[in-house]
């Protein structure tokens, strides 16, 4: 337990964890202390274990000095100096190396780190024959510009044929309908050992360089783990002989006896060898989905242990893809809970790729809070018109506060063929320093939870389950301007989130029958079926006139100040007004409250309404972005 964890913090955690009042939690804490003093060592050990279970949220979120424990993890940035990164390929087009001037230009643009996509085939062109000459040069030149380089290891696909993996790795995975994939089999011992050796050898070579910053741990198909179906396939990957052999090892490890397996799956097999390898559309495909999920977690845990054996520098996981539809269950390993669990265990940052997707940004910001894990946001352009994506991506940084540690721009240099790409880099340069202030605050989530059925989706046999779920989360928030907390069914199942703290809960996956905690909650509290029903329990924190769902407004609260980011996610200018409702997030405005443009420092003409609301005119250019500072505010009477 942190040395400086205070009694008040511990009792507050007890209250939150088990639903007691402040007075009751204080009495519980004092009783535990008294018991510990009186009992023998065996009883003390049990009491300590109980205390750790109860106090874990406080330990995970606080270091006893008002901060967060993850800030003491190895390689973590300070909150006053976030990570402002650009991602680059191993070489520029036509295999031209990066130069001193390139790194100097990035530093001049305000970057303090560079993610570099490594080419395994260039570094280890032949087995056990390494060439670090170019990487050594990059490390030295980056250090001259006070930049850190973060090694992004890819096992497969990135960079094209012969690069990841190198040409001498020939084993390939198979899809469920027999089509050869681009990546090596997940469980192939030869290719796994070769990849792990390459990762370890590379880290050991550069870890003492002043330009070395840290490592992205990746395994499988890019950052989608198992990967989508290869061209010509209508199935899923993971059916190479090595994978199937691992499946038959996993069965007895998981179910112990064939009889127990039969009871669970309502079958009548007499031997493990008789259990079929389920394929999409078959009755036992959900079983194979469980095996594929186990495989993903085992693989990422293994690569994480390897990295931690060789360095205590910054460790990151790149999460890219979706939570639903074919990009979710099909790739299987894209389970956010898995990454957050591993990040908490191995002290890593979760990199949310495609952070311009509003529903994912909302979900990950809320999940980071409960897992106590830091987040880095990455923009990977996706739409034909890229201009609205950049302000949307930058505005989402507040959704993760105070667990946000920075931003990553994919990919540098921005292509001159796409004006939106160039403009995205420009707005990133323009606002990243101001966003440092935004993430000093806290996202003022409101006391209603929406349970997102991530576990249910990922373990089902339906490869197109809830295809619009992420979009629906974002659309709801943009329209109603309220901040329910988005938690996963797995968080509820594992007790990471206590439902007792919420006024109401939305059961998006109809899981009251399979989540005991939700069933118990339903005895005393309302269970809602749709996000729209939460509006009766929440107050909007702002109102736009005229209403425009393409304008995203994100608040963060830091002491007496409120920071608002306004992102115009459309190609049309917005002219109207915004009315901020401080009482909705537990604040009240002072008589002399002001609104300032954070970029220019100029005051914005604003009216203070009798009820404490603040209102002012807003003019946002197409794909425009604004950051506003509102102050001073104080806690509203009776606010929690």
pLDDT digits (tens, 9 = 90+) for 53-72: 444 433 334 433 334 789 99
Instruction: Evaluate whether 90 touches 155 at the Cβ level (below 8 Å).
Output: no
Q: What is the average pLDDT across 506-519?
A: 96
pLDDT of residue 218: 92
* Per-residue pLDDT tens digits for 606-628: 999 999 999 999 999 999 999 99
Instruction: Evaluate whether 344 touches 311 at the Cβ level (below 8 Å).
Output: no
Contact residues for 297 (Cβ-Cβ < 8 A; gap 6+): 333, 335, 338, 341, 342
How far separated are the first and last CA of the chain, in Å rounded? Answer: 26
Instruction: Evaluate whether 265 touches 162 at the Cβ level (below 8 Å).
Output: no
pLDDT of residue 6: 55
Measured CA to CA, the distance from residue 593 to residue 590 in angstroms comes to 5
pLDDT of residue 338: 93
Measured CA to CA, the distance from residue 290 to residue 250 in angstroms comes to 10
pLDDT of residue 31: 55
159: left (phi over 0), alpha (psi -120 to 50) or beta: left
Measured CA to CA, the distance from residue 260 to residue 270 in angstroms comes to 11
Measured CA to CA, the distance from residue 244 to residue 175 in angstroms comes to 12
* 413 preceded by a cis bond (ω within 30 of 0): yes
Please give the mean pLDDT across all residues of the chain: 89
pLDDT of residue 28: 55
Higher model confidence: residue 417 or residue 295?
295
Q: What is the average pLDDT across 213-233?
A: 90
Q: What is the average pLDDT across 497-511?
A: 97
Higher model confidence: residue 228 or residue 399?
399
Helix, strand, or coil (residue 446): coil
pLDDT of residue 10: 56
pLDDT of residue 82: 97
pLDDT of residue 24: 41
pLDDT of residue 226: 85
Strand partners, 107: none
pLDDT of residue 380: 85
DSSP state of 229: P
Q: What is the average pLDDT across 498-513?
A: 96
* Per-residue pLDDT tens digits for 421-471: 899 999 999 999 999 999 999 999 999 999 999 999 988 888 888 889 999
pLDDT of residue 420: 86
User: How far lies 315's CA from each of 318, 343, 402, 505, in Å?
Assistant: 10, 9, 19, 34
Strand partners, 215: 151, 315
Contact residues for 547 (Cβ-Cβ < 8 A; gap 6+): 479
Measured CA to CA, the distance from residue 271 to residue 544 in angstroms comes to 64
Measured CA to CA, the distance from residue 486 to residue 500 in angstroms comes to 15
Measured CA to CA, the distance from residue 37 to residue 51 in angstroms comes to 14
Instruction: Evaluate whether 324 touches 478 at the Cβ level (below 8 Å).
Output: no
Measured CA to CA, the distance from residue 174 to residue 54 in angstroms comes to 46
The closest alpha carbon to 506, from 443, 452, 585, 447, belongs to 452
Convert 251-270 to b/e letters by CB count within 10 Å (16 or more is b). beeebeebeebeeeeeeeee
Q: Which residue has the tokens 């946001």?
A: 377
Domain boundaries, the chain: 7-71, 83-233+295-353, 448-537, 542-635
Q: What is the average pLDDT across 212-217?
A: 97
Q: How many CB atoms lie within 10 A of CB 337?
A: 20
85: number of CA atoms within 13 Å, CB side? 26
- Give the H or E element holding residue 491: helix 489-493
Token readout for 299 is 């693989």
67: number of CA atoms within 13 Å, CB side? 13
Helix, strand, or coil (residue 532): helix
Q: How many CB atoms lie within 10 A of CB 215?
A: 28
pLDDT of residue 638: 61
Instruction: Evaluate whether 549 touches 479 at the Cβ level (below 8 Å).
Output: yes
User: For the domain bounded by 83-233+295-353, which CATH number is listed?
Assistant: 3.20.20.80
Strand partners, 603: 596
Measured CA to CA, the distance from residue 167 to residue 223 in angstroms comes to 21
pTM: predicted TM-score of the whole model, two decimal places: 0.90
Higher model confidence: residue 528 or residue 25?
528
Q: 542-635: what fold?
A: Immunoglobulin-like (2.60.40)
Same fold flag, 83-233+295-353 and 542-635: no
* 304 preceded by a cis bond (ω within 30 of 0): no
pLDDT of residue 62: 40
What's phi and psi for 462, nearest 5 deg?
-90, 115
The closest alpha carbon to 487, from 523, 531, 534, 452, belongs to 452
Instruction: Evaluate whether 239 touches 174 at the Cβ level (below 8 Å).
Output: yes
Any idea of the CA torsion for 228, 234, 238, 240, to the nearest 10 degrees? -130
Res. 254: pLDDT tops 80: yes
Q: What is the average pLDDT across 322-329?
A: 75
Q: Which pLDDT band holds residue 328 (cuts at 50, 70, 90)?
A: confident
Q: What is the average pLDDT across 488-501?
A: 96
What's phi and psi for 43, nearest 5 deg?
-65, -40
Percentage, residues of the chain above pLDDT 70: 88
pLDDT of residue 333: 58
Res. 274: pLDDT tops 90: yes
* Per-residue pLDDT tens digits for 290-318: 999 999 999 999 999 999 999 999 999 99
């Amino acid at each position: 337990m942190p040395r400086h964890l205070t009694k008040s913090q511990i009792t507050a955690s007890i209250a939150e964890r088990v639903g007691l009042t402040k007075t009751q939690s204080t009495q519980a804490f004092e009783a535990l202390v008294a018991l510990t003093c009186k009992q023998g060592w065996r009883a003390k050990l049990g009491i300590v274990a109980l205390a750790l279970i109860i106090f874990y949220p406080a330990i995970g979120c606080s270091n006893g000095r008002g901060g967060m424990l993850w800030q003491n993890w190895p390689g973590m940035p300070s909150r006053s100096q976030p990570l402002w990164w650009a991602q680059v390929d191993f070489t520029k087009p036509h295999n031209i190396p990066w130069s001193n001037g390139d790194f100097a230009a990035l530093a001049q643009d305000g970057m303090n780190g560079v993610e570099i996509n490594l080419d395994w085939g260039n570094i280890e062109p032949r087995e056990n024959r390494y060439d670090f000459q170019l990487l050594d040069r990059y490390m030295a030149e980056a250090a001259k510009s006070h930049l850190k380089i973060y090694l992004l290891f890819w096992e497969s696909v990135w960079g094209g044929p012969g690069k990841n993996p190198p040409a001498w790795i020939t084993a390939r995975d198979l899809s469920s309908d027999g089509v050869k994939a681009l990546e090596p089999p997940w469980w192939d011992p030869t290719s796994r050992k070769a990849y792990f050796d390459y990762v370890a050898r590379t880290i050991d070579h550069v870890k003492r360089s002043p330009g070395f910053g840290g490592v992205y741990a990746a395994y499988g198909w890019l950052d989608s783990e198992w990967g989508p179906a290869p061209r010509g396939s209508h199935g899923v990957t993971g059916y190479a002989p090595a994978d199937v052999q691992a499946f038959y090892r996993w069965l007895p490890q998981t179910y112990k006896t064939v009889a127990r397996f039969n009871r669970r799956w309502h079958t009548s097999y007499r031997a493990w060898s008789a259990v079929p390898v389920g394929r999409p559309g078959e009755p036992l495909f959900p079983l194979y989905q469980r095996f594929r999920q186990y495989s993903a977690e085992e693989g990422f845990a293994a690569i994480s242990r390897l990295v931690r054996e060789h360095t205590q520098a910054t460790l990151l996981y790149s999460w890219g893809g979706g939570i639903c539809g074919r990009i979710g269950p099909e790739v299987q390993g894209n389970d956010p809970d898995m990454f957050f669990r591993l990040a908490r265990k191995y002290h890593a940052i979760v990199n949310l790729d495609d952070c311009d997707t509003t529903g994912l940004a909302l979900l990950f910001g809320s999940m980071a809070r409960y897992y106590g894990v830091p987040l880095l946001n990455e923009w990977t352009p996706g739409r034909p018109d890229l201009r609205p994506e950049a302000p949307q991506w930058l505005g989402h940084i507040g959704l993760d506060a105070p667990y946000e540690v920075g931003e990553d721009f994919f990919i540098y240099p921005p292509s001159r063929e796409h004006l939106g790409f160039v403009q995205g880099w420009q707005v990133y340069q323009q606002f990243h320093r101001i966003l440092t202030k935004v993430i000093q605050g806290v996202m003022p989530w409101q006391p209603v939870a929406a349970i997102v059925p991530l576990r249910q989706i990922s373990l089902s046999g339906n490869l197109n389950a809830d295809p619009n779920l992420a979009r629906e989360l974002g659309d709801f928030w943009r329209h109603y301007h309220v901040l329910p907390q988005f938690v996963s069914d797995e968080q509820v199942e594992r007790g990471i989130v206590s439902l007792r703290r919420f006024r109401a809960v939305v059961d998006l996956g109809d899981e009251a029958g399979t989540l005991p905690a939700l069933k118990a909650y339903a005895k005393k509290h309302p269970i809602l079926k749709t996000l729209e029903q939460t509006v009766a329990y929440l107050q909007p924190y702002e109102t736009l006139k005229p209403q425009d769902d393409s304008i995203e407004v994100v608040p963060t609260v830091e002491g007496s100040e409120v920071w608002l980011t306004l992102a115009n996610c459309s190609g049309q200018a917005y002219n109207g007004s915004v009315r901020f409702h401080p009482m909705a997030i537990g604040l009240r405005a002072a008589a002399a409250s002001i609104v300032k443009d954070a970029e220019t420092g100029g005051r914005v003409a604003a009216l203070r309404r009798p009820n404490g609301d603040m209102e002012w005119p807003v003019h946002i250019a197409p794909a425009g972005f604004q950051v506003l500072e509102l102050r001073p505010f104080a806690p509203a009477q009776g606010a929690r």
